[in-house]
Chains A and B, each alone.
Chain A
Amino acid sequence: MDMARNEVRKLRFDEFSAAKHLEHASQQARARNYQDFLIVDVDSHHYENESYKEVFQYIESPVMRRAALESGKRPGRSSMLNSQVGYQDLGGRITRHELRSFYKPTGDKHRDIEMTLEWMDAMGVDYACLFPTPMLFLGLHPQVEVEVAMCTAYNRWLCERILAQEPRLISMLYLPFNDPEAAYRTVKQFGDKKGVTGFMVTSPRYKPVHDNAYVKTYALLEEMGKPLCFHAAYNWNDQALSVTNRFISVHALGFMWFNMVHMTNWVVNGLPERFPKLKVMWIESGLTWAYSLMQRLDHSYMMRTSDCPQLKRKPSEYMREMFYSTQPMEVPDDPSILAATFKMINAETQLVWSSDYPHWDFDLPSVIYDLPFLSERAKRNILGGNAARLFGLDSKVVKKIP
Chain B
Amino acid sequence: MAELFVAKASDIPDGDRRIVTAGKEEIGVFHKDGAYYAYSNYCLHAGGPACEGLLINRVVDLIGEDRTYAGQTFGDELHFVCPWHGYEYDIKTGECAGDRKLKLAKYAVVRRGDDIYVVV
Contacts and interface: CB of A to CB of B under 8 A. Distances in A.
Contacts of B1: none
Contact of A93 (B7, B47, B86): B86
B64 interface: no
Nearest to B50: A24
A71 interface: no
Contact of B52 (A11, A27, A28): A11
A94 interface: yes
A84 interface: no
B46 A92 contact: no
Contact of A4 (B5, B24, B46): B24
Interface string A16-37: 0000010111011000000000
A29 to B, nearest CB: 11
B44 interface: no
A10 to B, nearest CB: 6
Interface residues of A, number: 29
A378 B76 CA distance: 47
A7 B47 contact: no
Interface residues of B, number: 28
A9 B18 contact: yes
B110 interface: no
Interface in B14-30: 16-24
B53 A24 contact: no
Contact of B18 (A4, A10, A362, A363): A10
Interface in B35-92: 42, 46-49, 52-54, 56, 81, 83-86, 88
A27 B46 CA distance: 12
A361 interface: yes
Nearest to A99: B83
B23 A361 contact: no
Given A6-B21, A6-B23, A364-B46, A90 B7 contact: no
Interface string B6-17: 110000000011
B19 A11 contact: yes
Contacts of B53: 93, 95
A96 B83 contact: yes
Given A93-B53, A366-B47, A24 B42 contact: yes
Given A4-B24, A24-B49, A93 B19 contact: no
B83 A4 contact: no
A360 interface: yes
Given A94-B85, A95-B53, A361-B85, A5 B47 contact: no
A253 interface: no
B106 to A, nearest CB: 18
B104 interface: no
A28 B18 CA distance: 23
A248 to B, nearest CB: 11
Contact of B54 (A4, A92, A367): A92
A360 B48 CA distance: 13
B29 to A, nearest CB: 8
Contacts of A7: 20-21
A2 B84 CA distance: 22
A67 B6 CA distance: 56
A246 to B, nearest CB: 10
Interface string A80-120: 00000000001111111000000000000000000000000
A364 B19 CA distance: 23
A24 B47 contact: yes
A201 B49 CA distance: 35
Given A24-B48, A93-B53, A93-B54, A8 B20 contact: yes
A220 B103 CA distance: 54
Nearest to B4: A6
Interface of A: 2, 4-11, 21, 23-25, 27-28, 90-96, 360-364, 366-367
29 contacts: A4-B23, A6-B4, A6-B20, A6-B22, A8-B7, A8-B18, A8-B20, A9-B18, A9-B21, A10-B16, A11-B17, A21-B49, A24-B47, A24-B48, A24-B49, A25-B47, A27-B47, A90-B86, A92-B54, A93-B53, A93-B54, A93-B56, A93-B81, A94-B83, A94-B84, A96-B83, A360-B86, A363-B46, A364-B46
The 5 closest A-B pairs by CB, nearest first: A4-B23, A95-B83, A90-B86, A93-B81, A93-B86
Interface of B: 4-7, 16-24, 42, 46-49, 52-54, 56, 81, 83-86, 88
Given A4-B23, A93-B54, A93-B88, 20 more contacts: A5-B23, A6-B21, A7-B20, A7-B21, A8-B5, A8-B18, A9-B21, A11-B19, A24-B48, A90-B81, A91-B56, A93-B56, A93-B86, A94-B83, A95-B54, A95-B83, A361-B85, A364-B46, A366-B46, A366-B47
